Structure 1
Amino acid sequence: MNDLKNKVVLITGASSGIGAAAAVAFGRYGARVAVHYNTQRAAALDVVTQIQAQGSDAEAFCCDVRESAQLAHLVQAVHRRFGRLDVLINNVGGMMRRIALAEASDAAIDEIFHFNARSMMVLCREVIPHMRAQGRGSIINITSQAAQTGGTRGAGLYAASKSYIATYTKGLAREVVREGIRVNALAPGVIDTPIHAAHASRSVTSQDDLQAKLKKSIPMGRLGRPEECAGVLLFLASEELSSYVTGQTISVNGGSSMA
């Protein structure tokens, strides 16, 4: 993957979890990394330090992805700092809270779609002119296994917002394919990140109980690691490895769902 060297990669939600693992992985291959965060500044700066320790360039950028003006400013700031923008990884997202679909208020619906789906669309819109001017680029959107299954009880809104991302990925891929821009998605299954503990169902009595129940639901019998998602992101970003791949969603879920 020598083609990733000196490529400029913007990763949202890169202060922890999959985003942080991806940022460090891209730095390992010589990419210049824009590490986005909202509130976790110290964690983002730690990721930057790890990338710089590998000999690669990186900087942290703060932005509330719910604000379109801030997203536009983020893209401008990254382009001004690095001079180009080759890869966008739309990783930021969350469940907010568990809520039954039949009981979801307008505010709850707007909140999760605004955070997970609208922010992704706005960021794509802001990045594409730069990629178009360069004649190439790669956009990778993070969806979820929940988009394929409908999610667990109380996670239907989250699943729907992630399904929207998967469909949007295909539509955008068709629109920009002749301009040298590839658009793909990654659908993680149960990955060992804090989101599961934060949104565990009421039936879970402890962290050990949560881990046991999650492992039981996965054919491989274990949770995935953020680094295992980062490997797929490297593949999708690399023209050397995936130049003929666009409009696709790759699942990383230990066999939990098989298309």
Structure 2
Amino acid sequence: MFDLTGRYALVTGAGHGIGAAIALALAEHGADVVVHHGHSAERAAGVVARIAGLGQRATAVQADVTDTAQVDRLVAAATEHLGGLDILVCNAGHLVGRVPIGEMSDEHFAQVTDVNLTATFRTIRAALPALRTSGSGRIITMASLAAHNGGGPGAVAYAAAKAGIIGLTKGLAKELAPDGITVNALAPGFIDGTDFHATFSTAARREATAAALPVGRGGTPAEVAAAAVYLASTEAAFVTGTTLDIDGGAAPR
């Protein structure tokens, strides 16, 4: 099951964390992968080396996903290197910073929206011609538990952007279904061992968050990656417009 042999994938934000785990998991199941990074060239090179060790083709491409010209260049480079594109994982995103709404500037709100929601839109738009040519394209977007529960302190802009990604995903699923393209979102909750939580949460807060989850622990990047492999596979051909929560039972239902 989940055989991705002969499939070509681009994963944004794949230099580390969840993105790196997704890139590696896709390669483990037979896909060739372009590893996008913004500011983590050394770690992206390490991911490429690990993919090569699995016997799959890979290369790293740097681009700023908030710049349309750079996103277009990224997708063109990926398509040229791979010879096509079947799987697009829009993982790149950022909290940017925790800012209460009363102190939030227009610039901060716009920056958070741009790097999360608008960057996802830009990347999908650029990749559409290649995904249509594929005939069985897969788009996987990255939402968040924050889209369901509003996020942690000072994360209103991030929660709004991630909720927007869910709406974008549902709308595109309808629009692109006639092209044989499925569009689904992943919504991770507390995933331990990532730069995100190490940067924006204290060790005590991380420990308390994990302990409070119904399953009693945080998730792992590999567990998010396993869901991405499923959504990228032939087995998920009838799944589109959905958001798969990977949160240990944290999301309100």
The verdict on a shared fold, with TM-score over 0.5 as the criterion, is: yes
Provide the aligned length of Structure 1 versus Structure 2.
252
Name the residue aligned to 2:195: 194
Contact 2:2 2:230 in 1 (8 A): no
Q: How does 1:129-144 map to 2 (within 5 A)?
A: 129-144=129-144
Give the whole-Å Cα distance in 2 for the aligned partners of 1:215 and 1:4: 33
Q: TM-score if structure 1 supplies the norm length?
A: 0.94
Displacement of 1:217? 2.5
Amino acid in structure 2 at the alignment position of 1:17? G
Contact 2:149 2:252 in 1 (8 A): no
Give the whole-Å Cα distance in 2 for the aligned partners of 1:231 and 1:134: 22
Amino acid in structure 2 at the alignment position of 1:71? V
Deviations 1:137-177 (Å, cap 9, x if unpaired)? 00000000000001112111111110000110000111010
Q: How does 1:35-74 map to 2 (within 5 A)?
A: 35-74=35-74
Deviations 1:4-39 (Å, cap 9, x if unpaired)? 112111000001111111111111111000000111
Deviations 1:94-137 (Å, cap 9, x if unpaired)? 10000112332110111111111111001100111111123220
Structure 1 residue 218 and structure 2 residue 213: aligned?
A: yes
Displacement of 1:44? 0.3
Displacement of 1:199? 1.1
Name the residue aligned to 1:247: 241
Q: Secondary structure at the match of 2:34?
A: strand
1:104–1:82 distance in 2 versus 1, CA, 3 Å: same
State the Cα RMSD in Å: 1.1
Q: TM-score if structure 2 supplies the norm length?
A: 0.97
Give the whole-Å Cα distance in 2 for the aligned partners of 1:86 and 1:133: 9
Q: Secondary structure at the match of 1:4?
A: coil
Structure 1 residue 234 and structure 2 residue 235: aligned?
A: no
Give the whole-Å Cα distance in 1 for the aligned partners of 2:181 and 2:50: 29
Displacement of 1:258? 4.7
Give the whole-Å Cα distance in 1 for the aligned partners of 2:229 and 2:30: 12
Unaligned runs of 5+ in 1: none
Amino acid in structure 1 at the alignment position of 2:36? H
Structure 1 residue 94 and structure 2 residue 94: aligned?
A: yes
- Percent identical pairs in the alignment equals 39
Displacement of 1:212? 2.1
Give the whole-Å Cα distance in 1 for the aligned partners of 2:239 and 2:102: 38
Give the whole-Å Cα distance in 1 for the aligned partners of 2:99 and 2:159: 12
Contact 1:197 1:210 in 2 (8 A): no
Give the whole-Å Cα distance in 1 for the aligned partners of 2:35 and 2:53: 15
Q: Secondary structure at the match of 1:14?
A: coil
